A and B are shown apart, each in its own frame.
Chain A
Amino acid sequence: MKSESGNVRRLKLARLFLANHLTYFLARLALGPLGRRLRSYQKVAVRGILSELHAAFSGEKPVILASAFVPTELIYGLGAIPVLPEVWSGFAAAAGFSAPAVTASEGSGYSQDLCSFHRCSLGLENLELLPKPAAVIVSSHLCDGGRCSLYRHSRSFGCPFYVLDVPYAATPDGVAWLAHQLERVAQDLVLKVPGLSLAGLPKALAAANRARSEYLAVCRLRRNQPAPWAGSEALNYVAVFLSGWGSPWLPEFYAQLRTHLEETIRLGAFPVSDERHRLLWLNLRPYYSSSIFRYLEKECNTSIAFEEYSHLYWPPHRPDAWAESLAAKLLSHFGWGPIERRLETIWNLVQEYGIDGVVQFNQWGCRQSNGGGRFLADFLRERGVPFLELAGDGVDGRSSGTAQQLTRIAAFVELLDARNTPSPARGTKAIPR
């Protein structure tokens, strides 16, 4: 356990580093020699994130806070930096700041029964670890906690709060209404926030399309058996997948990742070389240090071959019709609408990635994802695919129950071992090399 005074010191240091120009200058310099230890795609991501952090904390560009499923193409296109507080909660957990942040939000009156990703982000604000936003945008779909917590951020920072009211179904009326809302939000932001303009939107959508092409190639490579990318690392990059669309560096990131995976396959240098089982991981992961992934990959020779939240679910954008394109993206999310959409998506992923078993990480308080547990269990059982619901907390390590998780994972892997027949998903589709 870290001491209280140690926490305070570390928080002060973190604030100091984030706000200081010198930090970013030195970090860029360090990327040279230190960069040798990083893979090419990791360097692209670190450079991209550093430059955005610098722009955000120095005030060089306005910051817009957004809930997890708001298309960031809108924010990059307007000339702002998107900050997704839920993603920052993951960063905070990895950096060891989540416990004081969660405690701070609980001190403000937020219940422990709320999702800790949101409680943590509210605590980060209390601890002055979030950049000051010029506006907040939320989408009304998928996650009740996200939009409620972001409203709170907008109140605390005294900035405008925009709601994208997402219809349940992609009817023509619904699409038109949502596209109209996107236009109005963008126009209002341009009026209210100095430095923003609509001119960059087509360019941001074009960048997202380029990243999309590269990403689809990455996905095709990830169908390889054994898996060429460790799922534990891929789950970290869900943060980039959620918040990087529309950025100038995302196409390069996925291009470099693609090259890395091609090289891994060519050399046979797989993260789990003696791969016994392939898992599909649903929802997020614990972002603090947790032994469950090492146990899965090293002790059980089991790969996380793909993740639900790495699934690219929207059609290519039409840069000349940005509002309609972004409306289509919002409405395409497989978790929105009837549960069949999510089931169908998961079944496609099971088949495409040759999955032997599915694990849903039941983040405490995540009602939108956990509510699908019973459907998934029945749906996958009918198709002969084992399913595990793994209760835990992605941000607050104090509520992790790691020992219990390891026991459940061990039992699940035993179950997979005991199945003498390979999963019906194995080998159902040709794996492109």
Chain B
Amino acid sequence: MLLTTCSYIPLEIPLALGIPARRLLPKNAGHEADSYLPRDFCPYARGVLSQVWAGKVSHALLGVAVAGSCDAMRRVYDVLRHYAPDILSFYLDVPRTQNEDAVSYYAGVLRSFAHDLAAAYPGAPPEREWPERLWRAAHELDILRRALLTAYPTPETVQGDAGSGNKPLGVCASVTEWVELYFALNEALALPGSGPPDWLRAAESVRSSTTSPAAPRAPVVLLMGSFLLDATIPAALEANRLGIAAVDSCLGWRSLKVTLSQAEGDIFLRLAAAYLRKPPCPRLLVRQARRSWLEELLFPEGGKEAEVDGVVYFVPKFCDHGYYESVDVKDWLSEYGLPFLLLESEYGAGLSAQMHTRLAAFRELLEERQGQQGAARAKEGRRT
């Protein structure tokens, strides 16, 4: 089993080599990492170590592929190598830029990663079979990504159309349910010897029935940030009658928009381009591309009016990338006159009363603005 720590690491590679693999998405930060990492490290970094150490996964042929996402994750990689030598650890040097040179460099990194995996896990297929297998794995993962994207609840499904339609995964009743489905599908990926139909079935079977549909005609927000730790934040938003138009997070849309070029050529180069050029995360130093992606989410039809009433930005505590980007996003949004709410916390953040109080206040602000805008439009209509 191989666990990966970053959405820039292509799961196609281990899957093509016959190694069950999934993204490591801890459910909490745990306490097992406390004596290895400083207290001002983010909950995800701590959660990764805790999850691996808490015995929640078997160490037999367990591998963890760590990307150089940030200073904290570099140290997580060091801790794994030093203090958990029975775990196979791999480091992926993900560039912070997206140009041709960076793609070419990353292709080399991915090729080396494949060779390292093949050397570490018995039974890897011969190298001549890799392109074909990688292509197949990419196709299978593409099915899952598309299925997840089409399962995202639209305003129509929120008004009672949930679960209907000829789609590989039933459309979710709420974004909370969609995030839980995301987790379930990720878990299903690691089922050995299965493919997309089994994965989708496994994910559907654990679909939560505890979440209630979001209220129609509620103020709608874009939920964004560096990493949405768990489903409690969307649950808190929806409990406070805030609709979520899109989720821009590592655990969200931008990880699902991976497009592998159909052109002939080196498969590693194509994988590198597909991953490095997916909608960027705050960790990449390509802020203009980040802003373009944000605008795509705010103005999906390219119109002048934003399709959302505001933005909620979630930062895991001590995430430098999120902290810095949140200020940029706040400034960008001020150009469009859109309200912004910064939430900063740990796992389970959405369960706190304080969070609910802040969200309720934000909803009231959005409703008041909606009322003012409606009145202004009505006045304008009367004039014309």
Contacts and interface: CB of A to CB of B under 8 A. Distances in A.
A365 interface: yes
Interface string B310-323: 00000101101101
A211 B254 CA distance: 48
B361 interface: no
A370 B38 contact: yes
Interface string B80-100: 011000000001010111000
Contact of B330 (A109, A149, A364, A373): A109
B73 to A, nearest CB: 10
A123 to B, nearest CB: 13
B78 interface: yes
A108 B108 contact: no
Interface residues of A, number: 42
A367 B76 CA distance: 11
Contacts of A168: 68, 91, 93
B317 A371 contact: no
A299 interface: no
A163 B89 CA distance: 28
A391 to B, nearest CB: 9
B41 interface: yes
Nearest to A169: B93
Contact of A367 (B35, B41, B342): B41
Interface string A155-188: 1000001010101110001100100110000000
Interface in B265-302: 285, 287
Residue of B72, B96, B320 with most chain A CB atoms under a 10 A cut-off: B320
Given A108-B327, A152-B328, A371 B75 contact: yes
A155 B324 contact: no
A301 interface: no
Contacts of A114: 320, 323-324
A110 interface: yes
3 nearest A-B pairs in the assembled complex, by CB-CB distance: A371-B75, A148-B324, A168-B93
A177 B105 contact: yes
A272 to B, nearest CB: 31
A4 interface: no
Place the interface of chain B in its size category: 35 or more
Contact of A339 (B38, B41, B82, B317): B82
Interface of B: 35-38, 40-41, 68, 70-72, 74-75, 78-79, 81-82, 91, 93, 95-97, 101-102, 104-105, 108, 285, 287, 315, 317-318, 320-321, 323-328, 330, 342, 344
Contacts of A55: none
A165 B95 contact: yes
Contacts of B108: 173
Nearest to B81: A338
Contacts of B102: 165
Contacts of B325: 148
19 contacts: A111-B344, A113-B318, A144-B71, A144-B320, A151-B285, A163-B96, A163-B97, A165-B96, A168-B68, A168-B93, A364-B40, A367-B70, A367-B318, A367-B320, A371-B38, A371-B74, A371-B75, A372-B75, A375-B82
Contacts of A151: 285, 287, 324, 328
A370 B318 CA distance: 13
B38 A113 contact: no
Interface of A: 108-111, 113-114, 138, 140, 142-145, 147-149, 151-152, 155, 161, 163, 165, 167-169, 173-174, 177, 180-181, 338-339, 362, 364-365, 367-368, 370-375
Contacts of A155: 287, 328
Nearest to A377: B35
A374 B105 contact: no
Given A180-B101, A367-B40, A148 B93 contact: no
B93 A111 contact: no
Given A151-B285, A339-B82, A367-B41, 14 more contacts: A108-B327, A110-B327, A144-B320, A148-B321, A163-B97, A163-B285, A174-B105, A177-B101, A181-B101, A367-B38, A371-B38, A371-B72, A372-B75, A375-B78
Contacts of A149: 324
Nearest to A374: B36
Contact of B105 (A108, A110, A173, A375): A173
Contacts of B75: 339, 367, 371-372
Contact of A113 (B91, B317, B327): B317
B27 to A, nearest CB: 23
A221 B342 CA distance: 53
Nearest to B105: A177
Nearest to A140: B96
Nearest to A364: B40
A138 B96 CA distance: 11
B267 to A, nearest CB: 18
B342 A145 contact: no
Contacts of A161: 287
B61 to A, nearest CB: 23
Contacts of A148: 320-321, 324-325
A110 B95 CA distance: 26
A147 B74 CA distance: 16
B104 to A, nearest CB: 8
B304 to A, nearest CB: 24
Nearest to B78: A339
Contacts of A372: 75
